[in-house]
Amino acid sequence: MKRGKISISPYLLIPAIFSGISLIAVIVTYHVMFSYSGPKADPGVAILWLGLASVFFSFVCSYLILRFILSPIARFVKTAEKLPVMIQPSSGSAATPPENIEHIHSVLDQVTTILNKVEVRELFPEIIGQSRAMRAIFGQIMKVAPTDSTVIISGESGTGKELIAAGIYEQSLRKEKPFIKLNCVAIPEGLLESELFGHEKGSFTGAAAQKKGKFELADGGTIFLDEIGDMPLATQAKLLRVLQEKEFERVGGTRQIRVDVRFIAATNKNLTAMVKNGAFREDLFYRLNVFSIHLPPLRERREDIPFLIEHFLQQSKKAIEVSPEAMQVLLKFEWPGNVRELRNVIERASVIAEGTIEPAHLPSNLAGEFPGSSAGRKDNGSSLDDRLSEIEKGIIIEAISRAGGIQTRAAQILGINQRSLWHRVKKYNIDVSSLKKRHEA
């Protein structure tokens, strides 16, 4: 059985406490005076009136003081409760006085949460996330950003590690200096050292001129190395020297080049396991692991999914929304590709849908997660031919997106000739140039 709570206004509680203290003081004074003056002299009546006067005076003074202090807070609580962003009490619940202490705490907690979200949107406009996990990460960023500490960001592919690195840079003391990014996977192994450290003219075949590396370009600023777990061991050794000594040589050069660089790295691999297996240098790992930020996968912060979807839809040229059924599908899916996968799904669905995204507009692997709706597809009374055409259009859009807007490659993915694809693109009025621009962005 739930125990009921008794709500007492501080306007009564605190003056009563002060009055009680005054009364106790009067009683103690009476006993002290009586013990020294003897039993014949009874100052009881005088002490009684003095006690009553003291209690009344204490009550009035404490009430006025509290009124002066709590009135602005009570007005703030009343105003805050009227805001649409505040959680409104249920219609059946009794009204709570604005000066109730527990109620004030509740309202101020809500206001603090809202202000934190506003601050996050102002400080990190590119990072969408209001979950507790993401707010904790924003707190970590604000702590480490003003320092020069090396940061390593871990997390699954597609969780937004590059955005976190950019957020650290934007809040750092080096934000007016260069921010140089390099993906270690995107550069062939033979060219990675040249990209990092630069090279001298004639140092290898094709080196027709001297070239500055990423570390030189980042001097005074910040360098971000993405997917550092894929860096070859030989390059790791040279990178360790840069981190320790702040100096290096260009490929084919002999002159020592000193740099002042803030270092941020990211990986989607388990570096600890790689160190045990000998695939990653232990000394480099400890040099990198000064301040660690782990990005949770999207399935562990599902409350951010509606905000991410809203953000992606705002980038679409079409006025479009997500139906409750489709939102349920999107919320239940495990998202192995995380935010990147969600973005691709929403972009594809927004191209296919007209006005509202339904489960039928989502890829089959998502719609299959929605039980009891014919593999997740909602029947709106359309004919079989219309539904098949909608599916075919979605498959073509997905193939063109994967091909980066290049129709020849998309035709190869689909296993049809280019002329057949061109007719289907024209039939379904697919905007190929828009898909190509999204890929390039």
The closest alpha carbon to 441, from 349, 344, 337, belongs to 344
The answer to whether residue 387 scores a pLDDT higher than 80 is no
Instruction: Map tokens 């739930």 to a residue.
Output: 2
pLDDT (tens digit, 9 = 90+) per residue, 172-197? 999 999 999 999 988 888 789 889 99
Least confident range of 23-27, 110-114, 200-204, 341-345 = 110-114
> Residue 57 CA to chain centroid, in angstroms?
54
The closest alpha carbon to 357, from 329, 378, 326, 380, belongs to 326
Q: How many other CB atoms sit within 10 Å of the CB of residue 283?
A: 13
Give dist(CA 373, CA 369) in Å, integer: 10
Residue that wins the pLDDT comparison between 75 and 271: 271
- Residues written for the chain: 441
What pLDDT, on a 0 to 100 scale, did the predictor assign at position 275? Answer: 95
What pLDDT, on a 0 to 100 scale, did the predictor assign at position 373? Answer: 41
Least confident range of 247-251, 261-265, 362-366 = 362-366
Region for 177 from its dihedrals, namely left if φ exceeds 0, alpha if ψ lies in -120 to 50, beta otherwise: beta
Angle of helix 324-332 relative to helix 305-314, nearest 10 degrees, comes to 120
Domain 132-203+211-296: top CATH class: alpha beta
User: What average pLDDT does the segment 293-322 reach?
Assistant: 89
Give dist(CA 172, CA 92) in Å, integer: 50
All structural domains of the chain with their residue ranges: 10-81, 132-203+211-296, 299-440
> Residue 355 CA to chain centroid, in angstroms?
28
What pLDDT, on a 0 to 100 scale, did the predictor assign at position 3? Answer: 56
Output the average pLDDT for the chain: 78
pLDDT band of 253, cuts 50, 70, 90 = confident
Least confident range of 9-13, 63-67, 150-154, 241-245 = 9-13
Bridge partners (DSSP) of residue 257 are 248
> Residue 368 CA to chain centroid, in angstroms?
28
Predicted structure pTM score: 0.62
Q: Let me know if 207 is exposed, middle or buried by CB neighbors in 10 A (0-12, 13-18, 19+).
A: middle
CATH number of 299-440: 1.10.8.60
pLDDT band of 279, cuts 50, 70, 90 = very high
What pLDDT, on a 0 to 100 scale, did the predictor assign at position 412? Answer: 82
